Amino acid sequence: MKVATPNVDQSQPVKAPLRPLDIVSRAWSWLFLLLLVLFFSIFGQGFLNVYNFQTIGADMALVLIMALGQTFVIISGGIDLSQGFVMGMASVTAALVMSNMGSRAPLFVVVLAGAAVGLGIGLIPGLINGVIIARLRVPSFIVTLGMYGIARGVGFILSGGQPVSINTNGVGQIGNGYLLYLLPDGRVSFFQLPSNLQGVRPSQIVQLLPFPLIFLVVVVLICAWLLWQTRFGRHTYAVGGSEEASRRAGIPVVRHTILIYVLSAFMASLAGVLYTLRFSNGAADVGDPLLLTSIAAVIIGGASLLGGEGTIIGTLIGALIIAIIQNGLIFLGINPFWQFIAVGAVIILAVLVDQAKKQLV
């Protein structure tokens, strides 16, 4: 007597249900971010409000923009240690152009000229990095470390070792303004406050959507599209996974690697120009303390230093975790030097989670 067997499609593998440990390992950064917000909301008086979260978003703009460029480099299997001083060099150059033009040209011409020159000069180190790494096969760590010193020297030479101030009226407003101003009489003002504000205290004005935050959202969306929806993004993952296999598949590895380092330098220069607009000056060493923080954001977000892994959303979460730790410790009145210890501990935690995740697979 034959026993009837169910008709099972053997060509389709049966997926095992996700275990709780699998879920935690995959979403640990989201869970950790949520725990941080809850912790500082409970113990940090004033932490949980719109103004503070706007401040967090605006303050992390510089780090996240650098980290977005670093994400492409790390996914491709490299690293860019020159970003910090490329940012400073671009900042100094943009500030010099704006300060020299002064009031002799309209504000938007001054800003556009400074931004164009700052971004343009920042592309040069990225091009040199990419050519040496891709064509001469020199490790990215060595090349970008050398460019770290070169960009540092150029930045200090251009600035004379001092911050370059910009006295042009309105530059600071571009970097520190808000899209919306809600006035106590019910009026809504866009981009700038109206001149007739007699009897209105600053505390009565509701300021929403700072320009750096809006700019950051646009940059994140563009980078996400570039990595997820374009051939450039697919090639970046492929090169990071296996350079030899990518070459055999017809991917122009040399050209693509050069473009990745140019993109990284462009993002660092973009952060430098944004710094100049926010603080109305340029400084050669402004990006140095942000370099390791930007790399930390990428690693915390789940990217692998071996290449082939990483996402824009992960980098965004990593940058948010760092920014919330830094901001929350201030609300708790803790010595700011503890920020370095806390961020370092989170980096180690991220690596441990990554190792545990690989063992679960």
Q: By C-alpha distance, which of 211, 215, 266 is closest to 89? A: 266
Distance CA(250)–CA(235), nearest Å, equals 10
Mean pLDDT value across residues 105-124: 90
How do residues 7-34 score in pLDDT, each as one tens digit? 544 444 445 455 555 555 567 788 888 9
For residue 143, what are the domain limits? 20-167+212-360
Question: Which residues lie below 8 Å from residue 240, measured CB to CB, with a gap of 6+?
Answer: 74, 75, 76, 77, 307, 308, 309
Give the residue with greater pLDDT, 266 vs 52: 266
Give the CATH number of the domain where residue 145 resides.
Answer: 1.10.3470
Handedness of CA 241, 243, 246, 251 (dihedral sign): positive
Map residue 282 onto helix, strand or coil: strand
- The structure tokens 């930390």 sit at 296
Distance CA(148)–CA(165), nearest Å, equals 24
Q: Is residue 190 part of a domain?
A: no
Q: Is residue 152 part of a domain?
A: yes
Strand 188-190 vs strand 164-165: parallel, antiparallel, or unpaired?
unpaired
Distance CA(106)–CA(153), nearest Å, equals 32
Q: Would the pLDDT of 133 be above 80?
A: yes
Q: Would the pLDDT of 103 be above 80?
A: no
Arithmetic mean of pLDDT over the chain: 86
Distance CA(188)–CA(215), nearest Å, equals 21
Q: By C-alpha distance, which of 161, 175, 170, 166 is closest to 95? A: 166
Q: Is residue 207 part of a domain?
A: no
Q: By C-alpha distance, which of 47, 34, 52, 60 is closest to 293? A: 60
Q: Which helix (H) or strand (E) holds 179?
A: strand 178-182
Strand partners, 165: 281
Q: Would the pLDDT of 328 be above 70?
A: yes
Backbone angles phi, psi at 155, to 5 degrees: -60, -45
Q: Is residue 79 part of a domain?
A: yes
Q: Is residue 11 part of a domain?
A: no
Q: Is residue 197 part of a domain?
A: no
Map residue 206 onto helix, strand or coil: strand
Q: Is residue 198 part of a domain?
A: no
**86-100, 106-120, 186-200, 314-328: which has the minimum mean pLDDT?**
186-200
Distance CA(146)–CA(82), nearest Å, equals 8
Distance CA(111)–CA(356), nearest Å, equals 48
Q: How many domains does the chain have?
A: 1
Mean pLDDT value across residues 296-313: 89
Strand 188-190 vs strand 178-182: parallel, antiparallel, or unpaired?
antiparallel
Q: Is residue 200 part of a domain?
A: no
How do residues 235-293 score in pLDDT, each as one tens digit? 999 999 998 999 999 999 999 999 999 999 999 999 999 999 999 899 999 999 899 99
pLDDT for 336: 79
Query: What DSSP state is assigned to residue 18?
Result: P
Encoding tokens for residue 69? Answer: 């460029």
Query: Whole-structure pTM over 0.85, yes or no?
Result: yes
- For 25-36, b/e burial (b = at least 16 CB within 10 A) is beebbeebbeeb
